[in-house]
Amino acid sequence: MKMSEIASLLGARVLCCEELIEHEVHSACGSDMMSDVLAFVKDQAVLLTGLVNPQVIRTAEMMDMRCIVFVRNKIPSEEMIALAADAGIVVLASPMRMFEACGRLYNGGLKPQEVE
């Protein structure tokens, strides 16, 4: 699925790295616990989260993720957006709650991340 399709399925605004939005991604995960993302996620490309702090961006960067979706209208700070832009991570902001956002992407064909 293209990241642009993710944005339209989730009614999301693109907050950075719009130039990468036509790239394909295949898997996603949803979590507010960065500990769990670091420990259980593998080869996923998209992180959906309701947590807003710079560690969300750094966690995604360490894991080589390509896209972060902030759910529930959470808007990251300028500082966070700058970090994501520097890392080449597409940041989206959706008004949907976690359950619905994940459900729409799952229906749309994104796979769950592989769990070790």
Q: Using CB under 8 A as the criterion, what x/- string covers residues 66-85 for binding another protein?
A: -------------x---x--
Q: Which of 13, 58, 104, 111 binds another protein (CB under 8 A)?
A: 58
Contact 68, 80 (CB under 8 A): no
Contact 110, 46 (CB under 8 A): yes
The count of residues interacting with another protein (CB under 8 A) is 23
Q: How far apart are CA 47 and CA 41, in angstroms?
A: 10
By CB under 8 A, what part of segment 1-30 binds another protein?
A: none
Closest separation in Å from C-beta 35 to another protein: 4
Query: Which lies closer to another protein via its Cβ, residue 7 or residue 34?
Result: 34
Q: Which of 56, 92, 101, 102 binds another protein (CB under 8 A)?
A: 56
Interaction between residue 48 and another protein (CB under 8 A)? no
Edge-first strand order for the sheet with 13-16 is 13-16, 90-93, 67-70, 46-49, 27-30, 111-112
Q: Which of 4, 13, 61, 111 binds another protein (CB under 8 A)?
A: 61
Write the DSSP string, 54-87.
HHHHHHHHHTT--EEEE-TT----HHHHHHHHHH
